[in-house]
Amino acid sequence: MLCVGGRIASVGTTKDAMKDVWIKKNKKHVSEIDCAGRVVVPGFVDSHTHPAFMNPRLVDFEKRIAGATYEEIAEAGGGIRSSISGVRTASKNALTEMIYASLRQMGRHGTTTVEAKSGYGLSFESEIKSLDAIRAAAHRWPGSVAPTFLGAHVVPVEYRGRSNQYVDLICNEMIPAVAKNNLAKFVDVFCDRGAFSPEDTERIFAAAIKNNLAVRAHLGQLTETRLAPLLRFRPSSLDHMDHVNDADLRPLAESDTVATFVPGANYFLATERYPNARHLIESGVAVALATDFNPGSSPMLSMPMAMSLACTHMKMTPAEAIVASTINGAWALQVADRKGSIEPGKDADLAVFDAADYREIPYWFGVNRCSFTIMNGELSNPAPDEQWH
Ligand code: NIG
Ligand code: FE
* pLDDT tens-digit map of 123-141: 999 999 999 999 999 999 9
Do 53 and 8 fall within a single domain? no
Specify the residue with its C-alpha closest to ligand 1, atom 1.
292
Specify the residue with its C-alpha closest to ligand 1, atom 7.
296
- Residues with Cβ–ion distance below 5 A, ligand 2: 292
Residue type (1 letter), 330: A
Do 302 and 160 fall within a single domain? yes
Distance 116 CA to ligand 1 centre (A): 13
* pLDDT tens-digit map of 39-59: 999 999 999 999 999 999 999
Q: What is the 3-state secondary structure (H, E, C) of 301-346?
A: CCHHHHHHHHHHHHCCCHHHHHHHHCHHHHHHCCCCCCCCCCCCCC
How is the beta sheet containing 39-42 ordered, strand by strand?
A: 39-42, 350-353, 370-375, 378-380
Q: Is residue 219 part of a domain?
A: yes
Do 12 and 120 fall within a single domain? no
Radius of gyration from C-alpha coordinates of the chain: 21
* pLDDT tens-digit map of 10-45: 999 888 888 888 888 888 888 899 999 999 999 999
Specify the residue with its C-alpha closest to ligand 1, atom 3.
190
Residue to probe by mutation, ligand 1, list 118, 150, 218, most atoms within 8 Å of CB: 218
Residue to probe by mutation, ligand 1, list 64, 87, 190, 300, most atoms within 8 Å of CB: 190
Q: Is residue 386 part of a domain?
A: no
Write out residues with Cβ below 6 Å of ligand 1.
Answer: 50, 79-80, 83, 190, 218, 221, 265, 292, 294-297
Do 78 and 195 fall within a single domain? yes
Specify the residue with its C-alpha closest to ligand 1, atom 11.
297
Which atom of ligand 1 approaches the CA of 74 most closely? 9
Average pLDDT score over the chain: 96
d(CA 232, CA 147) in angstroms, rounded, equals: 23
Helices (H), the chain: 14-19, 21-26, 58-65, 70-75, 84-89, 92-108, 124-140, 163-169, 175-180, 198-210, 228-231, 249-254, 263-268, 277-282, 303-314, 318-325, 327-332, 360-363
Q: Is residue 78 part of a domain?
A: yes
Percent of the chain's residues with pLDDT above 70: 98
- CATH number for the domain spanning 347: value is 2.30.40.10
Do 247 and 101 fall within a single domain? yes
Do 144 and 28 fall within a single domain? no
Distance 80 CA to ligand 1 centre (A): 7
Q: Is residue 181 part of a domain?
A: yes
Do 98 and 246 fall within a single domain? yes
Distance 49 CA to ligand 1 centre (A): 9
Do 317 and 352 fall within a single domain? no
* pLDDT tens-digit map of 236-276: 999 999 999 999 999 999 999 999 999 999 999 999 899 99
Pairing type for strands 370-375 and 44-46 reads unpaired
Specify the residue with its C-alpha closest to ligand 1, atom 9.
296
pLDDT surpasses 60 at 386: no
Instruction: Give buried/exposed letters for 84-111 (b at 16+ CB in 10 A, else e).
Output: bebbbebeeeebbbbbbebbbbbbbbbb
d(CA 167, CA 136) in angstroms, rounded, equals: 27
Do 19 and 114 fall within a single domain? no
Residue 201: alpha-carbon gap to chain centroid: 20
Distance 387 CA to ligand 1 centre (A): 37
Q: Rounding to the nearest 10 degrees, give the CA dihedral for residues 127, 106, 46, 225.
A: -60
pLDDT surpasses 60 at 370: yes
d(CA 365, CA 231) in angstroms, rounded, equals: 36
Do 81 and 107 fall within a single domain? yes
Which atom of ligand 1 approaches the CA of 70 most closely? 9
Distance 344 CA to ligand 1 centre (A): 37
Domain total of the chain? 2
Residue to probe by mutation, ligand 1, list 48, 53, 75, 80, most atoms within 8 Å of CB: 80
* pLDDT tens-digit map of 182-230: 999 999 999 999 999 999 999 999 999 999 999 999 999 999 999 999 9
Q: Is residue 73 part of a domain?
A: yes
Distance 367 CA to ligand 1 centre (A): 25
Do 36 and 91 fall within a single domain? no
What's the domain range around 314?
Answer: 43-332
Which atom of ligand 1 approaches the CA of 298 most closely? 12
Do 376 and 278 fall within a single domain? no
d(CA 19, CA 4) in angstroms, rounded, equals: 16
* pLDDT tens-digit map of 304-316: 999 999 999 999 9
Q: Is residue 337 part of a domain?
A: no
